[in-house]
Amino acid sequence: MTRTYGPVLAGGFWLTAALVAAALVATVEYRRGSTELTRLESQAETRLAEKLAQHDAHLTALAAVVRMEPADPSESVQGLATAVTAFYPRIIGITTIRGDGKQPVTYQYGQTPGPAFDPSDELPVLETPGSTAFRSDPAGARYAIYKLVAPGVMIRMDIDADGLVADDTFPTGYSYRLWLADALLIEQPANGPALVTATRSTAVTSPSQPMRIEVARGFSVAELLPARVILPVLLLLGIATWLGLVFVRSVQARRREELRATLFEQEARLAHAGRVNALGEMASGIAHELAQPVAALLTQSQAARRALTIKRPDILERALDANVREARRAGDILDRMRAYIAGETPRLEPVPLDRALSDALRLAEADLARRGIEVSEDIAGECAVRIDVIAFQQVIHNILLNAADALTGRSSPRISIRAICDDHRAIITVADNGPGISSDVLPRVFEPFFTTKRNGMGLGLPLCARLIEKMDGSLEAGNAGGAVFTIRLPCEGLR
């Protein structure tokens, strides 16, 4: 599982971590950019306020001079206006306006004296000398400040708003807008699209020119995620993820190793417990199996004695040969029992399927017969299965005794053993006509210690499954009328 999903999980982790890291980097960059925006905006606001204050100071000075020389053109006013417009190029016109609002007489001072503006402009109504008013040019970028010098005498100062914010005030990526009251004087757009934009807006303190400046900074993807920061971060994350994956894998491998060791240990104990448990059950089968060679030994020994009396060495020889055969068979049975109980490592050997089954069946035959169970055997095809004979017998014995238990008290109890084989695989089914295995029991029958019997241990089937697996086969439980157990084993054809 780890091997299949590990890289995918690690990829997912890396992607998530990369997204989080990117979000963090973007947040830091955004905050840094926003702090810089605040600094530049406040600097621009201070400079702007200074410039607006200069306009007020010039108007005050001009008003004083106009008051001293009340007739136009005035040399003193011209001198001051020329100096002011020369030093402050954004002040593009200084005009005196005399008379009432209907028939004003204007005179423009400064570097280009003459009429300054369209006299049809509606003049502001100012009552107290020294008071001011402003008018912005609807065409944008310009505005005028009016100051009442004395009753019927006003000064107008025209300002080019473009000169209020120096070109180098804001670096690339910034945009700003400048308002005079509600009129937009300047709009300097950003150059290029932005992913997110931060904005600051401040009112500039000037009683004669109530301005507001709004500065915005757009952040492009490259600015929020600068390659010099994000690439090393992603690389470090990649290395950390890889190291994490290696670590997790080594921990998992160690755990698997420990688990396997524990399982082996448990399995060995389980197998032994199963054998000891089955030993009692098999005792009658063993006695039955041994009874045959022992009876044959008795018969042949009696025959040998008679042959001696009647002096028939040929009969004597045959009887003794038979005795040797039967004694060997009994010895084999006892050897297998000893090996089985001692838990010796399985020895897989090719055994003809029919012999394997009938040998296994023989162990339970007596018990089944005693319980009145009819057993049928149907083997199609000839092949040799590679089995550990003892283990295979134990499996069949266990399945048969389970069936016998299930058949207790049933009428016409029957067990049918069927086997088919081809050149590769043998399929053996042991079916009974008992109640079958209920749907809640069926998924659990191979669980160690699961039993529905009062005196059951729940070790038989898990052990059988394990033994068959060791022979490269499989064991399944199901229902077909009663219960049916299916064993699949590799096999080879008989030559």
* Dihedrals phi, psi of 89, to nearest 5 degrees: -60, -20
**Are the beta carbons of 41 and 200 closer than 8 angstroms?**
yes
Q: Does 82 participate in binding ligand ADP (rule CB under 6 A)? A: no
* Dihedrals phi, psi of 406, to nearest 5 degrees: -65, -25
Options 80, 97, 426, 445; binder of ligand ADP; rule CB under 6 A: 445
Read off the tokens for 438. 């209920």
Integer-rounded Cα Rg, in Å, for the chain is 55
Residue with tokens 């007596």: 366
Read off the tokens for 475. 């064991």
Options 104, 163, 346, 456; binder of ligand ADP; rule CB under 6 A: 456
| Smallest distance from ligand ADP to CB 372, Å | 16
Tell which positions 466-485 bind ligand ADP, by CB under 6 A.
Answer: 483
**Burial degree of 295 (CB within 10 A; 0-12, 13-18, 19+):** exposed
- Nearer to ligand ADP among residue 134 and residue 340 (C-beta): 340
66 vs 107: CA distance, rounded Å: 12
Options 461, 468, 471, 489; binder of ligand ADP; rule CB under 6 A: 461
| Smallest distance from ligand ADP to CB 478, Å | 11
Q: Does 273 participate in binding ligand ADP (rule CB under 6 A)? A: no
202 vs 212: CA distance, rounded Å: 6
- Nearer to ligand ADP among residue 241 and residue 429 (C-beta): 429
Which residues are within 8 A (CB) of 299 and not within 5 positions of it... i.e. 6 or more apart? none
| Smallest distance from ligand ADP to CB 396, Å | 13
- Name the one range near ligand ADP by CB under 6 A: 43-51, 57-65, 335-343, 451-459: 451-459
Options 95, 175, 402, 433; binder of ligand ADP; rule CB under 6 A: 402
- Name the one range near ligand ADP by CB under 6 A: 64-72, 337-345, 387-395, 448-456: 448-456
Contact pattern for ligand ADP over residues 403 through 422, marking x by CB under 6 A: x--x----------------
- Nearer to ligand ADP among residue 350 and residue 458 (C-beta): 458
Give 418's strand partners.
378, 429
Which residues are within 8 A (CB) of 483 and not within 5 positions of it... i.e. 6 or more apart? 402, 403, 406, 431, 432, 434, 436, 437, 477
Read off the tokens for 205. 């303190």
* Terminal Cα-to-Cα distance of the chain (whole angstroms): 43
Q: Does 458 participate in binding ligand ADP (rule CB under 6 A)? A: yes
Which residues are within 8 A (CB) of 338 and not within 5 positions of it... i.e. 6 or more apart? none
- Nearer to ligand ADP among residue 304 and residue 363 (C-beta): 363
428 vs 436: CA distance, rounded Å: 18
Residue with tokens 């003193």: 76
- Name the one range near ligand ADP by CB under 6 A: 4-12, 58-66, 378-386, 453-461: 453-461
- Nearer to ligand ADP among residue 146 and residue 392 (C-beta): 392
Q: Give the three-class secondary structure for 490.
A: strand
Options 363, 434, 466, 468; binder of ligand ADP; rule CB under 6 A: 434
Q: Does 145 participate in binding ligand ADP (rule CB under 6 A)? A: no
318 vs 326: CA distance, rounded Å: 12
Q: Binding residues for ligand ADP, how many (CB under 6 A)?
A: 20
Kindly report the CA angle at 92 between 86 and 96, in degrees rounded to 5?
100
Cβ-closest position to ligand ADP: 460
- Nearer to ligand ADP among residue 414 and residue 425 (C-beta): 414
Q: Does 457 participate in binding ligand ADP (rule CB under 6 A)? A: yes
Q: Does 453 participate in binding ligand ADP (rule CB under 6 A)? A: yes
Give the DSSP letter of residue 152: T
- Nearer to ligand ADP among residue 163 and residue 458 (C-beta): 458
| Smallest distance from ligand ADP to CB 437, Å | 4
What is the bridge-based pairing of β-strands 132-136 and 105-109? unpaired
Q: Does 274 participate in binding ligand ADP (rule CB under 6 A)? A: no
- Nearer to ligand ADP among residue 166 and residue 276 (C-beta): 276
Binding residues for ligand ADP (CB under 6 A): 398, 402-403, 406, 432, 434, 437, 441, 445, 450-453, 456-461, 483
